């Protein structure tokens, strides 16, 4: 069975993104979203277990939202109001229900990148 995992690296401070709130949504054909799960990253910048696995891991379009602004404010980082990056959405597709999809986020207050990890 497949699974979905994620982790966050704070590239501005050179450390794991600890304490970042994450929301996972399923995106329907019309573009509407349904919240599936909320989680918070641990001291290693990871979620303690898959965000999706087993029968819940199905082919479709999903979106992860990372509370970047909240994280940087909690670290004492001065951000403009509104912050350039407050909530970072990553919309992606799962095409193989038996594969491992890992969606990492490399994050700073003014940029981010992602890729399909392993």
Per-residue pLDDT of the chain (118 residues; tens, 9 = 90+): 899 999 999 999 999 999 999 999 999 999 999 999 999 999 999 999 999 999 999 999 999 999 999 999 999 999 999 999 999 999 999 999 999 999 999 999 999 999 999 8
Q: What integer pLDDT is reported at residue 118 of this predicted model?
A: 86
Q: What integer pLDDT is reported at residue 92 of this predicted model?
A: 98
pTM: 0.96
Q: Which residues of 18-43 are buried (b: 16+ CB within 10 A; e: fewer)?
A: bbbebbbbbbeeeeebeeebebebee
């Amino acid at each position: 069975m497949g699974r979905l995992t994620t982790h966050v690296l704070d590239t501005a401070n050179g450390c794991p993104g600890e304490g970042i709130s994450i929301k996972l949504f399923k995106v329907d054909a019309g573009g509407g979203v349904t919240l599936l799960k909320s989680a918070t990253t641990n001291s290693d910048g990871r979620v303690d277990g898959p965000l999706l696995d087993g029968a819940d891991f199905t082919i479709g379009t999903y979106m992860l939202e990372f509370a970047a602004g909240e994280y940087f404010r909690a670290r004492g980082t001065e951000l403009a109001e509104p912050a350039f990056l407050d909530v970072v959405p990553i919309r992606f597709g799962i095409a193989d229900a038996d594969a491992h999809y890992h969606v990492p986020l490399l994050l700073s207050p003014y940029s981010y990148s992602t890729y399909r990890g392993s």
